[in-house]
């Protein structure tokens, strides 16, 4: 079983992708503020915790299947979303696109893309003998980090302008590639 410190560090590590994605989403949001940031954080944290719990619950039966495809799903989802953000940075339809990028569907897809590794960690937590409530620690940490990232996003946008949107897209693509490389090449 993981100690509290190790579980906390694991949760922080898992929330790094959600923080980066939320920072990118906050940089291009049409509606900055605490309420949208909290909504973003709850979605990212809820998905992160749910994926971790799912991995924990299915560990004994489906561990090999999860690890066999998680990297491909993350690469496709994050690559698509990141590419869309980069495309939007060069689009003249800025306000319409930004309104759509604030939508629940895109937030949920991004959260799923950044949370796939949590299912694998859930498997590891199960195999390490950690209780199911460890997924709550993972989810709560992600709520906090994602909310913070979303709140800091507009600052990045003001400092960088459209480059923030391009950087956000590149970050998401980079996260997807990193997950894929970790699973396929290493």
pLDDT category of residue 118 using cuts at 50, 70 and 90? confident
Six token digits for residue 179: 């997950």
47 vs 163, residue with greater confidence: 47
Total domains in the chain come to 1
Q: Which domain holds residue 127?
A: 4-184
CATH number of the domain encompassing residue 93: 1.20.1250
User: What are the DSSP calls for 64-113, one per residue?
Assistant: HHHHHHHHHHHHHHHHHHHHHHHHHHT-S-HHHHHHHHTSHHHHHHHHHH
Give pLDDT, residue 15.
86
**Helix count and strand count (H, E) for the chain:** 6, 0
pLDDT digits (tens, 9 = 90+) for 129-148: 788 899 999 999 999 999 99
pLDDT over threshold 70, residue 98: no
Average pLDDT for 31-58: 93
- Distance, in Å, from the CA atom of 8 to the CA atom of 137, rounded to the nearest integer, reads 7
pLDDT digits (tens, 9 = 90+) for 52-70: 999 889 876 765 676 677 7
Q: Is the pTM of this model over 0.75?
A: no
């Amino acid at each position: 079983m993981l100690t509290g410190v190790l579980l906390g560090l694991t949760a922080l590590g898992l929330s790094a992708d959600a923080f980066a994605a939320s920072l990118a989403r906050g940089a291009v949001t049409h509606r900055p503020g605490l309420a949208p940031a909290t909504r973003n954080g709850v979605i990212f944290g809820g998905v992160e915790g749910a994926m971790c719990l799912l991995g924990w619950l299915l560990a004994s039966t489906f561990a090999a299947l999860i690890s066999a495809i998680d990297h491909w799903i993350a690469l496709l989802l994050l690559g698509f979303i990141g590419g869309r953000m980069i495309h939007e940075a060069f689009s003249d339809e800025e306000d319409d696109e930004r309104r759509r990028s604030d939508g629940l569907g895109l937030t949920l897809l991004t959260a799923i893309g950044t949370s796939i590794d949590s299912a694998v960690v859930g498997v590891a937590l199960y195999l390490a003998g950690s209780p199911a409530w460890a997924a709550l620690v993972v989810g709560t940490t992600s709520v906090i980090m994602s909310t913070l990232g979303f709140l800091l996003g507009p600052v990045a946008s003001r400092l960088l302008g459209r480059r923030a949107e391009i950087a956000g897209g590149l970050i998401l693509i980079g996260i997807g590639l990193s997950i894929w490389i970790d699973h396929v090449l290493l």
